[in-house]
Amino acid sequence: MIYPPIRKAVFPVAGLGTRFLPATKSIPKEMLPIVDKPLIQYAVEEAIEAGIETLIFVTSHRKRAILDHFDSDEDLQSHLLAQGKDELNARIKNIIPTHVSTAYVVQEEALGLGHAVWCAKALVGDEPFAVLLADDLIRSPQTGCLRQMVDEYHVTGAGVIGVEEIPASMTDRYGIVSVEKSSDGRSYIREIVEKPAPDVAPSNLGVVGRYILSGGIFPLLESVRAGVGGEIQLTDAIAAQLASQPLLAHAFEGIRYDCGSRQGFIRATVDYALEHDELREDLLAYFDTIRKR
């Protein structure tokens, strides 16, 4: 069976990023760089690899920097070309290919992830779509996480949620799913709960910031009440949708960095820097000096 393609991706980027204050007082957390690219660019590149054609940013009035990053800068490009820096010019010119479009919608109030996704309703319509949270930087060895999930969707037609095993003591920081294996080895979600205490969590499978959802999620987001933290939780709408639609839990191949935390952000910076030929040897030598202190 042929299912509708996943052509649109929603990027909720209106959050305040309080864990990185004072840096995020003037810089959106999604614009914080891992080596030489901001977090949001990694998420956008993952979406484009997965075949996404429309990038929808749910933003706030104070986050003009994200719009500017993905807009063209002819003055800067002319300067780089005049200096003979063709490679640098290509890197800023081709961030978003010409066949991919961008759209922006403002989330007037920070009412939670579910509300942020709902703000994209008019731009998404009734078709299935992806949601990517830039805080979760996922480095995959070959195929990106969202591409893996899109492939699963095209086989089953079911919505897909990225998951990974987490320490049982940390269930109160994640949406948690319990699953049931099908005859073909796929994990279908039986239950999803937002940030349960460790003693009542249905499993240790934590939801990460990658989703493929149907347009049917929007009426559910309108009907759910504020949940954990007084916010409209995407998890609660997904839980309601389970009664009528199957959803897969996809244990992705790759490493996730929680770049919403300082520890995860630093680990990601180190690991990505070690992949740069011009940085690797100097960094390894520096680590040796640290060990000798």
Banded pLDDT at 91 (limits 50, 70, 90): low
The answer to whether residue 23 sits within a structural domain is: yes
Residue pair 46/132 in contact by the 8 Å Cβ criterion:
yes
Are residue 293 and residue 185 in the same domain, yes or no? no
Specify the CATH number for the domain of residue 248. 3.90.550.10
Does 1 fall in a domain?
no
* Pairwise pLDDT comparison (256 vs 288), residue with the higher score: 256
CA 223, 227, 228: angle at the middle one, nearest 5? 160
Q: How far apart are CA 80 and CA 83, in angstroms?
A: 5
Statement to judge: residues 127 and 159 lie in one domain: yes
Residues 284 and 216 in one domain: no
pLDDT in tens, 183-202: 888 999 999 998 999 999 99
pLDDT tens-digit map of 233-252? 899 999 999 988 999 999 99
Is pLDDT above 80 for 79? no
Same domain, 145 and 288: no
211 & 287 share domain: no
Whether pLDDT at 125 is above 70: yes
- Tokens at 14, concatenated: 């209106």
| 151 and 287 fall within a common domain | no
Same-domain status, 152 and 203: yes
For 241, the enclosing helix (H) or strand (E) is helix 234-241
C-alpha span between 199 and 140 (Å, rounded): 32
Q: What would the two tokens of residue 261 be? A: 């935390």
CA 133, CA 40: separation in Å to the nearest integer?
A: 8
Let me know whether 176 and 50 are in one domain: yes
**Whole-angstrom distance, CA of residue 34 vs CA of residue 51:** 24
Confidence of residue 9 (pLDDT cuts 50, 70, 90): very high
pLDDT at position 73 is 63
Q: Are residues 192 and 280 in the same domain?
A: no
Does residue 182 lie in a domain region?
yes
- Give the pLDDT of residue 217: 94
Instruction: Using the predicted structure, report yes or no on whether residue 270 has a pLDDT greater than 80.
Output: yes
| 226 and 111 together in one domain | yes
The answer on 290 and 224 residing in a single domain is no
Q: Mean pLDDT throughout 251-278?
A: 94
Q: Given pLDDT bands bounded at 50, 70 and 90, which one contains residue 61?
A: confident
43-60: average pLDDT: 95
What letter represents residue 225's amino acid? R
Quote the pLDDT of residue 229. Answer: 63
Residue with tokens 């309080």: 18
> What does the pLDDT average to over 218-224?
89
Close Cβ partners of 40 (under 8 Å, ≥ 6 residues apart): 11, 13, 28, 30, 31, 66, 69, 134
Q: Whole domain around residue 98: which residue ranges?
A: 8-260
85: which 2 tokens? 């820096």
Decide if pLDDT at 224 tops 80.
no
Return the percentage of the chain with pLDDT > 90, whole number: 64
Least confident range from 39-53, 64-78, 156-170, 194-208: namely 64-78
Q: How many domains does the chain have?
A: 2
Q: Classify residue 155: in a domain, yes or no.
A: yes
Tens-digit pLDDT profile for residues 144-179: 999 999 999 999 999 999 999 999 999 998 999 999
pTM strictly above 0.85: yes
Same domain, 277 and 185: no
Q: Is residue 2 part of a domain?
A: no
Confidence of residue 55 (pLDDT cuts 50, 70, 90): very high
